[in-house]
Copies of this chain bind each other. A is one copy, B any other.
Amino acid sequence: MTDRIAGVLAPVVTPFKADYSVDAARFVRQCRWLIGNHVSLAVFGTNSEANSLAVNERMDLLERLVESGVDPARIMPGTGCCSLVDSVRLTAHAVKLGCAGTLMLPPFYYKGVSDEGLFRNYAQIVERVGDPRLRIYLYHIPQVSQVPISLALIERLLGAYPHNIAGVKDSSGDWSNTLSMLTRFAARGFDVFAGSENFLLANLRHGGKGCISATANVNPAAIHKLYAEWRNADADAQQASLDAIRAIFQKYPMIPALKQAVAHWGGDAGWATVRPPLVELTAEQAAALVGDLEGRGFSMPGL
């Protein structure tokens, strides 16, 4: 299992031009800055506005990133769509490019679907991609997808495809659920990533592998530092400091706030653009966010 990805990953925010088209050059620059800060790339996550992108846009952007020289072993693209056909296409493409794994939402249009139906979805993806290199990280984010990944579903998938079902991102915000995943599955090579750095220390102390967090887009070095030093005496103090920064971002709509921070500290106002149905921060919100963060000595060096 030593070849598996671990540590801190950012669901990289996706830059748009004024006409809402994807800006690949800005995207690659941002990814390089994150890698330079020891953070790996969970591109096409919730905070990447991935579901606001077309399938072809996602494939083109991933190719651009790999062609730019970023090591695909540092990339875990989101590839779970409502349509099985799209999920298979994106997943096969990511595996072919050599990505570390794929972060996979369940199909999220229909609500109240059965574990049997979700099992079939993931099983079809594994069978159709048909590549031993495939590593699926299940994406549990019920407050957004409205389709939870139950412990029983994980049990069944791990039993059927122990080599391909590699882990989970638990974005439920419910630590007792993360702990259940760790207790039941971690010893079987199932890698648990916390859905935010709020649970990074707790996750590592219980055998988890790191975190995949929105705010790793803006605070990568400090989050990685805790990952690297979690056995140190000051780990709880580091955790508290990370939590304080994250709490500021959580006062605003998260994606517009992340992009506003990149726009401000990167000196590139165009970064604030979000695709509908999202809306960028108001000027008042943007000023308040920056003021709050500066008040805590926050900055984004090297951006």
Binding site for B on A (CB under 8 A): 20, 46, 51-55, 57, 82-86, 89, 106-111, 113-114, 116-118, 120-121, 124, 143-147, 275-279
Contact B20 A124 (CB under 8 A): yes
Contact A55 B54 (CB under 8 A): yes
Chain B residues within 8 Å of A84, by CB: 20, 52, 275-276
Closest to A50 in B: B109
Contact A106 B277 (CB under 8 A): yes
Chain B residues within 8 Å of A113, by CB: 277-279
Could you list 21 A-B pairs, sorted by A, with CB under 8 Å? Answer: A51-B82, A51-B83, A51-B109, A52-B82, A52-B83, A53-B83, A53-B85, A54-B55, A82-B82, A107-B276, A107-B277, A109-B145, A110-B278, A111-B146, A113-B278, A116-B279, A117-B277, A117-B279, A118-B277, A120-B276, A120-B279
A14 CB to closest chain B CB, in angstroms?
A: 12
A215 CB to closest chain B CB, in angstroms?
A: 18
Copies of this chain held together in the complex? 2
Top 10 closest pairs, chain A to chain B, by CB? A117-B277, A51-B109, A120-B276, A121-B276, A51-B82, A113-B277, A54-B85, A117-B279, A107-B277, A121-B277
Q: How far is the CA of A178 from the CA of B138 in the complex (A)?
A: 39
Q: How far is the CA of A114 from the CA of B280 in the complex (A)?
A: 11
Contact B117 A276 (CB under 8 A): yes
Known A55-B55, A109-B51, A111-B144: A124·B276 in contact at CB below 8 Å: yes
A27 CB to closest chain B CB, in angstroms?
A: 16
Contact B52 A277 (CB under 8 A): no
Contact B86 A54 (CB under 8 A): yes
* New A-B contacts (6) at CB < 8 Å, excluding given A20-B124, A147-B277: A51-B109, A54-B55, A54-B89, A106-B277, A113-B277, A117-B277
